[in-house]
Amino acid sequence: MLTVKNLNSGYGKLQVLYDLNIEVPEKGLTVVVGPNGAGKTTLLCSIMNIATVFSGEITFGGEPLTGVVTHKLAQKGISYVPQMGNVFAELTVLDNLHMAGYMLSKAEANDKAAQMTEIFPVLKKFIHRLAGTLSGGERRMLAIAMGLMKNPKLMLLDELSTDLAPIIAERVMVEVARMRDELGITILMVEQMARRALEIGDTAYLLVSGEVRYSGQADSLLHEPELCSMYLGIKQTAGKGGSAKLSVSDEGSENS
């Protein structure tokens, strides 16, 4: 559905990505992992025409995207959920959903908002509360629901687990997988919770210093001990009977 070919991009004169090549299969979950500063968010910003594209091609369903203004990308069916600032804190949950559905008629927006509360029951409970009073996990659920209000063909998700407790982050990962499995939405996800993201993902790319160091099946990357240890903070240790198991070297984060 989405193809990134020989992408060189960054911000102003600063180049971050170098000859990047990525393919996002339709109705699959593509995961991009890597250390801080690798260019993961820059990839999403390049697709959304927020970063500066120096050269290369980005196509969506075979149609060129490079240079297309951001709001036109939304109209084409691409939904972007940024890492931070992804909800309107001073508006209610319901108003946030209606804001996200600005391209819909009032009746369609109401129907879609009702559907979102069925998909994410926690939002129904807090439908008239200000978004700024929600917990971190609840705000992430609202941000995802806002992305879904646009009836997207492709969702770009940026570091949804940031600052969440592990149990809440796990709930978010389950919802992401459910969007693919039950709603059939194509997803490109940048994630610091590397091990869990690779477990639920279909295809994975490891970015290091703006370049792809691994591309292939997501779960196969977990069996690349050198890459996992060096760039993701995931180590393989011997379990009972000599079998290998995964552990996280940094207790606070899998990919700090």
**Token reading at 91:** 């508006």
> Is residue 251 scored above 60 in pLDDT?
no
Is the residue at 133 inside a domain?
yes
Whether 36 and 256 have beta carbons less than 8 Å apart is answered as yes
- The SS3 of residue 32 is strand
Alpha-carbon gap, residue 249 to 256, rounded angstroms? 11
Alpha-carbon gap, residue 168 to 122, rounded angstroms? 13
Is the residue at 254 inside a domain?
no
Average predicted confidence (pLDDT) for the chain: 89
- In this prediction, residue 236 carries a pLDDT of 61
- The SS3 of residue 220 is helix
Is the residue at 48 inside a domain?
yes
Q: Tens digit of pLDDT for each residue in 159-171?
A: 988 888 888 889 8
Q: Is the entire prediction scored with pTM above 0.75?
A: yes
Is the residue at 229 inside a domain?
no
Residues near 181 by beta carbon (within 8 Å), at least 6 away in sequence: none
- In this prediction, residue 143 carries a pLDDT of 94
Give the sign of the dihedral formed by CA 192, CA 196, CA 198, CA 200.
negative
**What CATH number is associated with residue 89?**
3.40.50.300
- In this prediction, residue 155 carries a pLDDT of 96
Q: Tens digit of pLDDT for each residue in 213-231?
A: 999 999 999 999 999 999 8
Whether 155 and 26 have beta carbons less than 8 Å apart is answered as no
Parent domain of 161? 2-218
- The number of distinct structural domains making up the chain is 1
Q: Tens digit of pLDDT for each residue in 26-39?
A: 999 999 999 999 99
Alpha-carbon gap, residue 74 to 101, rounded angstroms? 11
Is the residue at 150 inside a domain?
yes
Q: Tens digit of pLDDT for each residue in 169-199?
A: 898 899 999 999 999 999 999 998 899 999 9
Is the residue at 230 inside a domain?
no
Alpha-carbon gap, residue 88 to 211, rounded angstroms? 34
Is the residue at 151 inside a domain?
yes
Is the residue at 156 inside a domain?
yes
